[in-house]
Chain A
């Protein structure tokens, strides 16, 4: 049957969320002839709709439904209602994302084995490895058009990059380049080349940056096998007496509760909403939440070790001109415990406009130390630090039944305490980041605290063993055979790299698995 599909059609795969995981999975299944209904809480915005204005764009795209926070992380104090920066729109956070697309390093699939016992960390080896993922990474890089891979040219370095590169080389770093970016350096895949407008975080108005909003989603729809329902907020996943998923309840654009039947259900709401949805789907058969016999749903939340370094120079940089994040130093991404921590981190160029800089440079700060930094905005360069953080069982998503959203559903509370390894890594990264800019002649450097989380991972983690993970090697729930997790929440550990390329590779691999299992009538 061709789209649109009937609410009572119980032969469809229902996908919840259309971001990096859900949007790709929807298209890949549709291309294989599978009938798919994708339900997306947000609306549809395309390049012509994006607004190159930081706060206005945030208002247009960001997920601002209530959430709460707890734990010792500074975000809980500075942005208590905004633990994460995630998009609510078709395309999910791939509208906001900067496009940095890196593969995991080989050892990062097996950190429990490689790092050994780390006190307080719930490290676990992934049930899959680099060799198994290599062909999927090839496909994902091809789909996203990642620069510096597959014969694609690198992006040219902008001002922010040139300062960063100069400092890096002066310091003796050698792995310095303009990144592996899902941004076209030349016309590719019917999308334009980057025009260096800046505002990659606000949605690329040229379509030079890959986003599932204007690639995978419409291409899937064009097959006639995919129906995307926007402004459809899934409230609950339903199951039959045997414990198999058989439909989802969602609030449609008018706030009416609808029931869509399903043959398979795939959850891809990002690592905060996906566990929230499973927990909100508790039933007599699954009293602790759907697919939660392990008790691991919502646990092991990771957000990457992050921080930024901004620096002032005696002459103009104009860092906001050009791509937001096309620049990387990879020398520190190795695992070298002699630095005082396990795992590694990447240093990536980053520019914010004046409105966001004022909000994020040092939240809560006031007075001349703060304002003289902004006075130097034109002479400022910036980088983001992103590294592997330690999964901890106690970090995670729980339901806050005291606070409900516009549909009366309990909201997610996001609890996070830094692990000592995260703190040690951040301090090292600050020191190195400041050294990079000092080597380039900075007159002042500023170690800037983490922003609300953009990389949200690990809350439905993958493990071969049903006792310590929510999903198996295919992202399939151990407890519910026709329920899949298709987003960053299946990450067993986080690695140092920005996660989206891996989310996309996993979604492509999962699509092939689901299609073949459906063909064999195993699903």
Chain B
């Protein structure tokens, strides 16, 4: 994956960009994600950016939001969810992923939203996911996140998990029994 740092994203909606306009509506719901040019997706605060290989930017943005809604952790930034689902942005997975996100948007419309990203509250999007949850696409995304998200070493400290301790001699002298509130 290519991650570029960008200075500042142009928040103006180009007049012709209907899809982008729609996406930006979603981006308001997201709060953080913007399309800046063809095949390029970035956070508004430049915390992360990714070049897309195969998926439409709005598809990928929707997928990232879907990932967050499946496993919402408010203290975990988007970039980790981006890494977790980046694998779908490949020639091999693009077709099925576009179709899956199209179904997700269709489900959102059943619930009265313009699109999945058009639903402003997490609870509204969860209602949409509940329609989807027995479909293979949902199960694939959810199942993939179990390792895609939680097996990222960079995520572990965000849960307080310390990972291996062998190289530091274990916890024998470093607090294996340091609980002090019992």
Contact = CB atoms under 8 A, between A and B. Distances in A.
A358 B146 contact: yes
A374 B151 CA distance: 13
B147, B169, B177 — most chain A CB neighbours (10 Å): B177
Contact of A163 (B169, B172, B178, B182): B182
A430 interface: no
A157 B177 CA distance: 7
Interface in A11-68: 52-53, 55
Nearest to A162: B179
Contacts of A158: 171, 176-177
Contact of A196 (B160, B176, B182): B176
A358 B149 CA distance: 9
B142 interface: yes
B150 interface: yes
Contacts of B151: 55, 355, 358
A452 interface: no
A226 B150 CA distance: 43
A318 interface: yes
A197 B150 contact: no
Contact of A52 (B146, B159, B164, B181): B164
B71 A163 contact: no
A309 to B, nearest CB: 18
B17 to A, nearest CB: 33
A440 B142 contact: no
Contact of B159 (A55, A156, A354, A366): A354
B73 interface: yes
Given A52-B164, A371-B73, A162 B182 contact: yes
Nearest to A196: B176
Interface in A301-330: 315-318, 320-322
Contacts of B178: 159, 318
Contact of B166 (A159, A199, A321): A199
Interface string B143-157: 000110111000110
Contacts of A375: 73, 75, 159
A252 B74 CA distance: 51
A494 B149 CA distance: 38
A108 to B, nearest CB: 33
A510 B155 CA distance: 49
Contacts of A358: 146, 149-151
A307 B38 CA distance: 50
A354 B150 contact: yes
Contacts of B149: 358
Tell me if B's interface is mostly helix, strand, loop or mixed.
loop
Nearest to B126: A367
Contacts of A315: 181
B170 interface: yes
B70 interface: yes
Contacts of A521: none
A367 B70 contact: yes
A364 B141 CA distance: 11
A202 to B, nearest CB: 9
A370 B169 CA distance: 33
Interface string A354-365: 110111000010
A195 B175 CA distance: 11
Nearest to A358: B150
A197 B162 CA distance: 11
A198 B174 CA distance: 12
Nearest to B175: A321
A368 B125 CA distance: 13
Contacts of A157: 177
B165 A52 contact: yes
A205 interface: yes
B145 to A, nearest CB: 8
A377 B176 contact: no
B14 interface: no
Interface in B119-141: 126, 129, 133
B177 A162 contact: yes
B157 to A, nearest CB: 10
A321 B176 contact: yes
B110 to A, nearest CB: 20
B177 A159 contact: yes
A318 B150 contact: no
A203 to B, nearest CB: 11
B159 A377 contact: yes
Interface in A185-215: 194-199, 205-206
A316 B160 contact: yes
A198 B171 contact: yes
Contacts of A418: none
Given A52-B164, A159-B176, A196-B170, A355 B150 contact: yes
A152 interface: no
A378 interface: yes
Contact of A378 (B147, B160, B163, B164): B160
B72 A367 contact: yes
B147 A55 contact: yes
Contacts of B75: 375
Interface of A: 52-53, 55, 156-159, 161-163, 166, 194-199, 205-206, 315-318, 320-322, 353-355, 357-359, 364, 366-368, 370-371, 374-375, 377-378, 440
7 contacts: A52-B165, A197-B165, A321-B165, A321-B175, A355-B147, A367-B70, A374-B159
Interface of B: 70-73, 75, 126, 129, 133, 142, 146-147, 149-151, 155-156, 159-166, 169-172, 174-179, 181-182
Given A321-B165, A354-B150, 14 more contacts: A157-B177, A158-B176, A163-B182, A194-B170, A197-B165, A197-B170, A197-B171, A198-B170, A199-B166, A316-B160, A368-B72, A370-B71, A378-B159, A440-B182
Q: Closest 10 A-B residue pairs measured CB to CB?
A: A195-B170, A378-B160, A197-B170, A52-B164, A358-B150, A322-B176, A196-B176, A321-B171, A354-B161, A377-B159
